[in-house]
Structure 1
Amino acid sequence: MITAMKAKDKTTLSVIRMIKAALQNEKNEVGRDLTDAEELGVITREMKQRKESLEEFEKANREDLVTGVKAEIAVVEKYMPKQMDDAAIKQTVQDTITEVGATGKADFGKVMKALMPKVKGKADGAKVNAYVKELLG
């Protein structure tokens, strides 16, 4: 935050302040210090909100707002773990299907339950969901 202040980088400073506030709110809500996984969950939620905003602004042809949200997403990405590529996601899904012994669409929930802790924060849930459906059905 101090680096952003010194650089007079208003976008980075704003995003860091929003993330810090979200982390503090979550800490107050649970009544204790957050674990690393809980902190990652808050940052992931912030990223998801920005991506949803980006989609809405693009649909509404609000290029002025799209530019700002893209800059915010770039800042939040710095604090996220490295994202898995499509091949790694697909391989993890396949390994999990084999691991739980899934045979069809009826095992979708079982696969997702075992899979999500492995990819949480590292892969987009929608992509994971799509690959599970593809490989099971």
Structure 2
Amino acid sequence: MDLRTRVNTALKQAMRDKATTRLSTLRLINAAIKDQDIAARGETGDDRGVDDAQVLAILGKMTKQRHESARAYEEGGRLDLAEREREEIEVISEFLPRQLDEDEMEAAVDAAVTSTGASSIRDMGRVMAELKARHTGQMDFAKVGPLVKNRLCTG
């Protein structure tokens, strides 16, 4: 079952369960996917919409935004709003693949460096593109960037 179908199924179940927070988060996910569909249709004239990889990118972006918002709310003393952001993160995370741990991220970086033939920091863009193609939604690329840079600088 593709991600779009999983989100719609979860949305219907949340309606039946009257789970308001979950329902509003799933509606936000659906709206973000539809926005991307419309943008893609305008660019390519293609009516198929976004694929699972693009949906994963949307979900990853939504998660990152909520982490940043939760941090800002905590710094501002608004713990109630920070908690709401964390609840939304939990719902969004259900549709993301399992996150790689540190060892798995390092192994993925090594594999990407090897497969791209990267040898210097100038090749960082190619390595990051390779990682994004293979591991979208599975790793935090803000953490991976320094790993790639370190690997390419030390060789």
Alignment TM-score > 0.5, same fold: yes
2:28 is matched with which residue? 18
User: Percent identity at matched positions?
Assistant: 33
2:15 is matched with which residue? 5
Where does 1:62-81 land on structure 2 (aligned, <5 Å)? 62-81=78-97
- Between the aligned partners of 1:100 and 1:78, the Cα distance in structure 2 is 32
- Between the aligned partners of 1:110 and 1:8, the Cα distance in structure 2 is 46
Moved over 4 A (4+): none
- Between the aligned partners of 1:91 and 1:72, the Cα distance in structure 2 is 30
Aligned length: 137
Deviation at 1:80, TM superposition (A): 1.0
What's the RMSD between the two structures over aligned residues?
A: 1.6
Deviation at 1:92, TM superposition (A): 0.7
* TM-score between both structures, scaled by the size of structure 1: 0.89
- Between the aligned partners of 2:99 and 2:51, the Cα distance in structure 1 is 20
Q: Given the alignment of the two structures, is residue 46 of structure 1 paired with residue 62 of structure 2, yes or no?
A: yes
1:102 is matched with which residue? 118
- Between the aligned partners of 2:31 and 2:122, the Cα distance in structure 1 is 41
| Structure 1: unaligned runs, 5 residues or longer | none
- Between the aligned partners of 2:152 and 2:77, the Cα distance in structure 1 is 37
Give 3-state SS (helix, strand or coil) of 2:64's partner.
Answer: helix
Deviation at 1:102, TM superposition (A): 2.7
- Between the aligned partners of 1:102 and 1:124, the Cα distance in structure 2 is 21
* Equivalent in 72, 75, 98 of residue 82 of structure 1: 98
Deviation at 1:114, TM superposition (A): 2.5
- Between the aligned partners of 1:22 and 1:70, the Cα distance in structure 2 is 18
| Structure 2: unaligned runs, 5 residues or longer | 1-10, 42-46
Deviation at 1:113, TM superposition (A): 2.7
* TM-score between both structures, scaled by the size of structure 2: 0.80
